[in-house]
Amino acid sequence: MIRLGTRTSQLAMWQANWAATRLQEFGFDVQLVPISTDGDVLMGSLRELGGDGLFTKRLQLGLQNNEIDLAVHSLKDLPTDPVDGLALSAVPQREDVRDAFVSNQFRSLAELPDGAKVGTGSLRRAAQLKWLRPDLQILDLRGNVDTRLRKLDQQDYDAIILACAGLKRLQMSDRITQALELDQMLSAVGQGALGLETRADDTQTIEAVSKLNNPEIMACVTAERAFLNQTRAGCTAPVAGHAVISNEQIHFKGLILNETGTKRCYKEAAGPILEAETIGRQLVQQMFEEGARALLQA
């Protein structure tokens, strides 16, 4: 029996049920174990609450204390520092990595009038929005997907920014007004990917979840997470990174902005797939040499 810990939010339940169903198809028995995290209980902006680990630390503690055997995370929420005794054992096929512009009145980000109110809980999205449209009012937005959409429908905002992946997984693709291409808004590290975390010595569960692993996506998120880790900025910072594999090489795009979205540093790199982690880390050093460290410090 694999005890799968899950948060009780809408999207987290989808993730847990997806993993449970796939594992059951391979003949494994799975028991869902509900767990509340700080991110599910505490109110306020992610930055005020401490950001990193809000949605993951309690699940990781459950693994360490042998309460559960498996945790399924939205990989963009999982801090990049290693946790004693735990391992990221599988990353399945990735969903759409793009951010979604959602509005009931306007067909695109470009159509928003000056001073329009846009909701997002992400500093990365906020900084990129300010870079693209410094005239907009960027307002904080928290809650599960339904809550955020309801606030939009109540006309608290002219538009909101969500992840395409979450809307597609919840069968809400019809709410995507415009999928923002990566040259407009570069995605968060790990966006659209799920991370299956286990105890590092739990060989039975590791073997089970290995059947769900996609090696190419694992290589891509390895580069992305190494990039973010090397910035030492945390997963709530105005840092974006995305990797793909093409022609047997990994191609990486990295972006660091200041909080106000007035300055940014963008850079690309490519190299062998087996050097994914090195590529991510080296790109940060190159960006720091070009002044990106000051953007984060500011």
Domain membership flag for residue 137: yes
Q: Are residues 78 and 35 in the same domain?
A: yes
Q: Are 202 and 116 in contact (CB under 8 A)?
A: no
Burial classification of residue 144, based on how many CB atoms lie within 10 Å of its CB (0-12 exposed, 13-18 middle, 19 or more buried): middle
Domain membership flag for residue 186: no
Q: Residue 53: what pLDDT?
A: 65
Q: Residue 49: what pLDDT?
A: 46
Q: How many domains does the chain contain in total?
A: 3
Domain membership flag for residue 68: yes
Q: Are residues 71 and 117 in the same domain?
A: no
Q: Are residues 23 and 50 in the same domain?
A: yes
Q: Are residues 65 and 111 in the same domain?
A: no
What CATH number is attached to the domain comprising 158?
A: 3.40.190.10
Q: Are residues 9 and 25 in the same domain?
A: yes
Q: Are residues 8 and 66 in the same domain?
A: yes
**Which one of 40, 52, 69, 77 is the catalytic residue?**
77
Rounded to two decimals, what is the model's pTM? 0.92
Q: Residue 297: what pLDDT?
A: 87
CA 259 to chain centre: 18
40 is catalytic: no
Q: Are 5 and 35 in contact (CB under 8 A)?
A: yes
Q: Are 168 and 222 in contact (CB under 8 A)?
A: no
Query: Looking at residue 195, what DSSP letter applies?
Result: E
Domain membership flag for residue 85: yes
Q: Closest Cα partner for 188 from 240, 136, 230?
A: 240
Q: Residue 281: what pLDDT?
A: 97
Q: Are residues 43 and 120 in the same domain?
A: no
Q: Are residues 154 and 165 in the same domain?
A: yes
DSSP secondary structure, 111-168, as one string: GPPTT-EEE-S-HHHHHHHHHH-TTSEEE---S-HHHHHHHHHTTS-SEEEEEHHHHH
Q: Are residues 48 and 171 in the same domain?
A: no
Segments of the chain scoring below 70 in pLDDT = 38-54
Q: Are residues 108 and 159 in the same domain?
A: yes
Burial 107-118 (b: 16+ CB within 10 A, else e): eebeebeeebeb
Domain membership flag for residue 185: no
Q: Are residues 56 and 197 in the same domain?
A: yes
Distances (CA, A) of 117 to 48, 181, 230: 21, 21, 34
Q: Are residues 82 and 30 in the same domain?
A: yes
- Determine what percent of the chain is predicted with pLDDT higher than 90: 89
Domain membership flag for residue 187: no
> Which tokens hold the place of 144?
């599960």
Range(s) of the domain holding residue 150: 99-180
Domain membership flag for residue 52: yes
Single-letter amino acid code for the residue at 141: L
What CATH number is attached to the domain comprising 276?
A: 3.30.160.40
